[in-house]
Amino acid sequence: MNAPANDRARAARHLVRIIVDGKTTDQTFGLDPVKQPSPLCQELVFGTLRYYFSLNEAVEKRLSKALRSKDLDLRLLMLVGAYQLRYTRIPDHAAINETVNACRPLRKPWARSLVNAVLRSIAQDVDDEKTECSFELPDWISGRINSAYPAVAADVMNGLLGRAPMSLRVNVSRTPPAEYKARLDEQNLSWQAGLVPEHIVLNTPVPAAQLPGYAQGQVSIQDGGAILASGLLDPERKLAQQSNCRILDACAAPGGKLFHLAESVAPAELVALEINSRRLEHLCSEAARLGFDSIRTLQADATDTSWWDQRTFDAILLDAPCSGVGTLRRHPDIKHLRKIDDLADYQQLQLSLLRNLWRTLATEGTLLYCTCSLFQEENDNVVQQFLNETHDARAQLISAPVGQRTEHGWQLLPRPVNDANLAASVDGFYYARLRKISDNQERPG
């Protein structure tokens, strides 16, 4: 069977793992940006997830009867075909023929005529049906965004539906940003300056392996909003000047924020916790690529202290598990995997992490709490509850080049990508910086 048909069959199988088995795209594809499926397969999976609701509606109404549960891979294959017809430049005849041919590697050649008929019908009506499902979001997500950000809700939801730009962070411990930008120029890779000097956004994405110096650890792929974490934790750059400084990244994988800290605060002692062994393995591999073998990595649960050596930390980064809705443009699987009831569970986990980690923070130390959520339940509400019950915790004012102030922190919002200013197009992140005050300091009323 030819490669194009195999790519479409593989895309359908990946979608089964996500939609049916509840796996994330990271679990399906792996974390290493170099070891990914073919560009076509990735495009078909991410594109189908992005426009899943309208594509599914288009396919379902053309089926005379529901498919058997064991044939859900065929329905997803038809969604892959519909995505090609509506949103790619692949000629209709090629999209239909290769998707029909993919029935064979799926071991369902009997379905060829069915897939062919459904896709040909969609091809005839493609221009009339592209906008069936506005913003392609579940009602519970769009409802919350409309409620929380009424003035900019349409922009936020359009931002979540769009594609994220390719955002890079130069490893300043290995190469100055100016030199790396010159290397991009030498390879005719067009770029824009980012939010901080080490942040660069490519005008046109390329595979990670094609980035100059990638194998040598000179650059990482990281969203601009995440790149702000290091500066928000240590805005005056005091940690690098502090003797015997200890910093903890409590939920460290995949490691982007951790490694940016390592570039910024050497020679501080860094400790990284990660509960998931597979994600920890990837983090260690990235640490080796970037030259940060001195980071102490532990497979441990940050909701307890069995890992702790009783030496306090001067700073803690808590990138807490959350709904992840702010990263939908990179992880469109989230809108299929998350449910409204998950918010309460995440909130309890976030509070548990804050309460436990606070015990390990030194007096006058700083904890940066962050999520990639847009929802107050996981952001200001969590911080408010923690402040209410923690006598020595104080929220500090913070600001960033993009985003907006909240009661206790700072919220970054995704917006539609603007080619004139790609750097300002960031994922949705929330940050709050908490200071541990001494007992003789007065708590604000």
d(Cα 25, Cα 270) in Å, to the nearest integer?
Answer: 29
To the query of whether residue 41 is one of the catalytic residues in this protein, the response is no
Cα end-to-end span (Å), the chain:
71
Decide: 285 and 31 in contact? Cβ < 8 Å. no
Amino acid present at 193 = A
Calpha distance 197→175 (Å, rounded): 12
- Angle between helical axes of 39-50 and 3-15 (0-180°, round to 10): 40
DSSP for residue 427: -
- Give me the DSSP letters along 291-312: T-TTSEEEE--TTS-TT--S--
Dig out the tokens for 298 from the structure. Answer: 């532990």
Cα–Cα distances (Å) from 379 to 291, 367, 375, in that order, read 33, 14, 6
CB 7 within 8 A of CB 44: yes
Determine the longest span between alpha carbons in the chain, in angstroms: 78
Sequence-distant (6+) residues with CB within 8 A of 350 are 320, 321, 322, 369, 371, 378, 382
Among 41, 245, 284, 372, the active-site one is 372
Measured between alpha carbons, how far is 355 from 393 in angstroms, rounded to an integer? 11
Q: Output the six-digit token pair for 94.
A: 């090629």
CA distance 433 to 405: 12
Q: Which residues are catalytic?
A: 372
